[in-house]
Amino acid sequence: MKKILFATSECVPFIKTGGLADVAGSLPKYFDKEEFDVRVMLPNYKTIDRKWKEKMVYKDSFYMNLAWRNQYVGIMEMEYDGVTFYFIDNEYYFSGDHPYEDGAWDIEKFAFFDKAVLSSLPVIDFRPDVIHCHDWQTGLIPVFLKDGFAENPFFQGIKSVMTIHNLKFQGAWDKQTVMDITGLSPYYFTPDKLEHFGGSNYLKGGICYADAVTTVSESYAEEIKTPFYGEGLDGLLSARSGELTGIVNGLDYNEWNPATDPFIYHHYTISNWRREKKKNKLGLQEELGLEKNDKVFMMGVVSRLTDQKGFDLIECVMEQLCAEGTQFVILGTGDPKYENLFRHYEWKYKGRVSSNIYYNNERSHKIYAACDAFLMPSLFEPCGLSQLMSLRYGTLPIVRETGGLKDTVQPYNEYEGTGTGFSFANYNAHEMLHTVEYAKYTYYNKKREWNKIVDRAMKADFSWAVSAKKYEDIYRKLCGE
């Protein structure tokens, strides 16, 4: 039995700010239980819902040195969905109102967490063969493994994997502060290790010292070796390309299933969606105060409203996107200028545009089920989950060909009769608009072709079972098999 520990700063259903939480919470359930014992460790934030806190059992506690400090480490444990979760408890670090706060405090908080993860393993008597680290918040774990823990026989031979979910976030801070916080010697703060442009960088440390590096799609693994996408680490990632693998994220097909989804108006399957899916459109139109018409082309967006997600393109051609014969539904929060843009267009085109400037999980399910198309024109997208959800619900994604969007959405080819959605290559508002208009034309004028694309989209398999097998291969390789 191979033992694997996931170390993560967030994890569904306990705490979530982004896609990292979905991966950390969903992926462990899909490994072969006969061969892999996969457990998860995360901080015990004050903001975790009380219903989960009440299920946690006190395991043990001890004090740990972090440079010049002596800090309490409590370990809570619970089982959920057949997976064992450990929560690192420390009120000083984890009592904030949000999992991530300001820069310097987070730098110290996650240095504590990373050292506590390793220090707690002998206490809970779990010696993993592989520690799977997620994003910069766990970037010091591979470094600590090679530092103070390397002398301890318990830790010898433990391998580490570093997964990059979004290279934009790196845990960069000034070198002196990080040396003071972590207690790491100056040996680690050179340009070939943690030092980065004169400062220090947690993610860089993880990439340098991990035995394998992965990211969340094959295309993104190639893109981040280039200066445009590499965020200053493209040279290092090129140097480590032999150990770098892209594995596309999966989707929890139990949670996202139009046949059983408790949040949507009417259930449907690949065999009856032609009849049943439109009932979701009528339900959403009624709920949002849109004109009720099951034949109108309805396009959805569920996203953070930021430049990264392509909202500058949408802003440029918003007037044309709201054309006759289109209904446009937006759900999300972000940059105030985009929040206000959508509020304005809802006011201007009442009955055609619905702007929901907040986040609501139930509403997101309804949008995936009700819409005909889903717009995702990202500048960069390491993997993206929204396009996987829309494929699952037979809502055709319209995406820019970048990162995981390129890997998961096959563009419609009318001559070959292939494709699961629509895509455009250049980061250009009018190219995006042309693709939207092409999708709309197909919807209205080539209904049989549109229906075949929906059939193919709903047949596509992006469940975690497929991705889990690729991670299993990496673990086996690291374990010498």
CATH code: domain 2-250+465-478 is: 3.40.50.2000
**Amino acid 170: pLDDT:** 97
Q: Cα angle at 356 between 292 and 272, to 5 degrees?
A: 45
Domain boundaries, the chain: 2-250+465-478, 273-461
Q: What is the mean pLDDT of residues 395-422?
A: 98
DSSP at 15: B
Q: Which amino acid is at 455?
A: D
**Amino acid 252: pLDDT:** 87
What residues pair up with 366 in beta bridges, in sequence order? none
pLDDT at 434: 98
Residue 86 CA to residue 88 CA, distance in Å, equals 7
Q: How far apart are CA 264 and CA 125, in angstroms?
A: 44
In the predicted structure, residue 88 carries a pLDDT above the cut 90 = yes
Tell me: domain 273-461, CATH 3.40.50.2000, correct?
A: yes
How many other C-beta atoms lie within 10 A of the C-beta of residue 52? 17
Q: What is the pTM of this model?
A: 0.93
What pLDDT, on a 0 to 100 scale, did the predictor assign at position 17?
86
At 276 the pLDDT is 97
Q: How many other C-beta atoms lie within 10 A of the C-beta of residue 295?
A: 12
* pLDDT for position 280: 98
Q: Sort strands 353-356 and 244-246 into parallel, antiparallel or unpaired.
A: unpaired
Could you tell me how far CA 477 lies from the centroid of its own chain? 25
Q: Which pLDDT does position 178 carry in this prediction? A: 96
447-464 mean pLDDT: 97
- Minimal CA–CA distance to 38: which of 383, 475, 477, 470? 475
Mean pLDDT over 73-95 rounds to: 97
Task: Choose among 158, 129, 160: nearest CA to 38.
Answer: 129
- Give the pLDDT confidence score for residue 42 in this predicted structure: 98
CA distance 368 to 232: 36
Distance CA 348, CA 367 (A): 21
Q: What DSSP state is assigned to residue 463?
A: B
Which residues make beta-bridge pairs with 328? Answer: 299, 353
| Strand partners for 60 | 75
CA atoms of 78 and 123, how far apart (whole Å): 16
**Sorting pLDDT into bands at 50, 70 and 90, what band is 202?**
very high
Say what the pLDDT of residue 64 is: 97
According to DSSP, residue 426 is labeled S
Spell out a b/e string for 398-427, using b for 16 or more CB atoms within 10 Å of the CB, else e: bbbbbbbbbbbbbbbeeeeeebbbbbbeeb
Q: pLDDT digits over 332-386, tens only? A: 999 999 999 999 999 999 999 999 999 898 999 999 999 999 999 999 999 999 9
Peptide linkage before 397 cis (omega within 30 of 0): no
Neighbours of 146 (CB within 10 A): 14
How confident is residue 102, by pLDDT bands cut at 50, 70 and 90?
Answer: confident
pLDDT in tens, 137-186: 999 999 999 998 999 999 999 999 999 999 999 999 999 999 999 999 99
pLDDT in tens, 4-57: 999 999 999 999 988 899 899 999 999 999 999 999 999 999 999 999 999 999
Tokens representing 64 are: 């740990």
Place of tokens 């070959």: 416
Q: Provide the token pair at 134.
A: 């997620």
pLDDT of residue 428 exceeding 90: yes
Asked if the peptide bond before residue 13 counts as cis, ω within 30 degrees of 0, the response is yes
Cα angle at 44 between 200 and 20, to 5 degrees? 60
Q: Look up tokens 């490994």; give the residue.
A: 31
SS3 223: helix
Query: What pLDDT is attached to residue 19?
Result: 84
Residue % of the chain over a pLDDT of 90:
95
pLDDT number for residue 34? 96
Q: Does 2-250+465-478 match 273-461 in CATH topology?
A: yes
